[in-house]
Amino acid sequence: MTTIALHDKARAGNPVRGRINRWFFSLLDGYIHSLLGEAKQALFADLPDTVVELGAGTGANVRYLRPGTRLVAVEPNPHMHPALERSARARGLDLEIVHAGAERLPFADASVDAIISTLVLCSVHDVDAVLAEVRRVLRPGGRFLCIEHVAAPRSTWVGRVQRAVFRPWRWFFEGCHTHRDLEASIHASGFEQVAVERVEAHTVFVPVRPQIIVSATR
């Protein structure tokens, strides 16, 4: 079952790049699973029956959720919605698509037990606003679980590549920032507990090689 809620604050994005990114991420679904599947399975192992996902995209994370889970998927790109619906249906999830941006979530204060995201905070307009919204809507003891790519040291070859490709990368991937210091932002956002593991993704997409696995508790 799928329901779709529309909200005025959603950013539809560029209609051409939105469709290209839907195709691109659908095509790379298996590749991303091979890179991050083990980490995602461990991170999402004990989620509650209802989960909010930021930037659910085409449904790359539905395979890690238990059948029967209610997934409230915040996804502002409407071109992603059909693939997301198919993925959720194949997994047996109860899907609600919320067509909204993460900077202003349409949920009540302290109303959510768990929020997940993967490779999303790189592309939001205001990271601090998103993290503040996550804290606002999580219940005390609620968890924010994410995997994100982050900045490499400027002096390293990966750091130089991140800065060299910044402008075309950001244009093509609709705002994706190649070198944000997301770990510092998460630590500064006011969570009671934050656990961060730094990992290196062995991928041909060099700018996203440095990554963090985060479990933050409200």
Categorize the per-residue pLDDT at 46 as very low, low, confident or very high, splitting at 50, 70 and 90. very high
The mean pLDDT of 102-123, rounded to a whole number, is: 97
| 113-145 pLDDT, tens digit each | 999 999 999 999 999 999 999 999 999 999 999
The 3-state secondary structure of 74-86 reads ECCCHHHHHHHHH
Q: In what order do the strands lie in the sheet with 70-74?
A: 2-6, 94-99, 70-74, 50-54, 112-118, 138-149, 210-217, 193-200
Assigned token pair, 98: 């919320």
| 169-195 pLDDT, tens digit each | 999 998 999 999 999 999 999 999 999
Categorize the per-residue pLDDT at 14 as very low, low, confident or very high, splitting at 50, 70 and 90. confident
Strands (E), 34-179: 50-54, 70-74, 94-99, 112-118, 138-149
The mean pLDDT of 31-39, rounded to a whole number, is: 94
Give residue 11's pLDDT: 52
**Is residue 77 predicted with pLDDT exceeding 50?**
yes
- Answer yes or no: are the C-beta atoms of 133 and 106 closer than 8 Å: no
Q: Under CATH, domain 2-217 is a member of which superfamily?
A: Vaccinia Virus protein VP39 (3.40.50.150)
Contacts with 5 (C-beta within 8 Å, 6 or more apart), sequence order: 96, 97, 98, 99, 100, 106
Give residue 9's pLDDT: 44
- Answer yes or no: are the C-beta atoms of 199 and 211 closer than 8 Å: yes
CA dist., res. 129 & res. 111, Å (int): 18
Categorize the per-residue pLDDT at 27 as very low, low, confident or very high, splitting at 50, 70 and 90. confident
Q: How far is CA 150 from its chain centroid? A: 13
Q: Among 46, 126, 119, 56, which Cα is nearest to 85's?
A: 56
Give residue 23's pLDDT: 85
- Answer yes or no: are the C-beta atoms of 152 and 89 closer than 8 Å: no
CA dist., res. 175 & res. 159, Å (int): 18
**Is residue 50 predicted with pLDDT exceeding 50?**
yes
CB atoms within 10 A of CB 113: 16
Helix axes 29-43, 15-27, angle to 10 degrees: 70
**Is residue 1 predicted with pLDDT exceeding 70?**
no
Give residue 12's pLDDT: 54
Give residue 100's pLDDT: 93
